[in-house]
Structure 1
Amino acid sequence: MVGMSIIVKRIYDPPEPSDGYRVLVDRLWPRGMSKQRASLDLWMKNIAPSPGLRKWFGHDPSRFDEFAERYRAELDANAEAVGALRDIITTHGTVTLLYAAKDSLINHAVVLRDYLNDVNAENPLRNSRS
């Protein structure tokens, strides 16, 4: 994925030019965040974990490994949304996945980034700007 990167960032952190294309990957709108302050390019609710999985996980660190496994299975079954996000990465090069969770290491956006990197390693994206 030369020339392309997937960044994971909390939506409450200020936007930066280096963010590239900013995609909110939460199913629910973040509390206290205005649309203007969010500075989003896209809100992609359909790539987020299912409500049942999100509630089961409850941001419990002891459940994170199993959560990641279950979420990856959901992503495997959600080819349309994953394909759409891969197209965005191809088009824009740098994409920031935005999330609202407090923990920067134990959240679904990290799982999604790793999933996309794994998928892209197996089936590399073509940089349409080359």
Structure 2
Amino acid sequence: MKQRRIDIARAYDEPGPDGRIRFLVDRMWPRGVSKASLGIEAWLRDVAPSTELRRWFGHDPARWEEFQARYRAELDANPASWQPLLEAAERGPVTLLFGARDREHNQAIVLQAYLAHKLKHH
């Protein structure tokens, strides 16, 4: 049985030689980063929070709990956006890349937990 594992990493971090399938899960491309340096399978911008939700959140830790709930609701309403990630995770380990500076309050954390729950019940 293949390992089902979903990790997250900042798009600006050096990729490790781990052979994981990597996906960019941000609505906007990270500044100053080339496509070649990311080594991604795909850029899944539609899985990222809506522009309205992203602007409302503004990476404000005080809004973190509400952001998570709103983002999960967006994910529930758009399964086609995250289905490729679930399928890739079923085949092997994946890494979700995000551009935010805040490593503790970003959409990749929410998406990682959301997909782990789907994998467990899939």
Q: Shorter-chain TM-score category?
A: over 0.9
Deviations 1:10-69 (A, max 9, x none): 010011122500100001000111112222121111100000000000000000110000
Residue aligning to 1:120: 119
TM-align CA RMSD = 1.4
Q: Indicate the residue corresponding to 1:104 in structure 2.
A: 103
TM-score by length of 2: 0.94
Gaps of 5+ in 1: 124-130
Change (3 A) 1:19 1:113: farther
The aligned length equals: 122
Flag as ranges the 4+ runs of structure 1 deviating above 2 A.
none
Letter of the structure 2 residue corresponding to residue 20 of structure 1: R
- For residue 55 of structure 1, what is the amino acid of its counterpart? R
Q: Is the 8 A contact 1:8 1:96 kept in 2?
A: yes
SS in 2 for 1:53: helix
Structure 2: 5+ residue stretches without partners = none
Match of 1:82 in 2: 82
Q: Provide the secondary structure at the position in 1 that maps to 2:109.
A: helix
SS of equivalent to 2:18: helix
Distance in 2 between residues matched to 1:111 and 1:19, nearest whole Å:
23
| Residue 48 of structure 1: aligned partner | 48
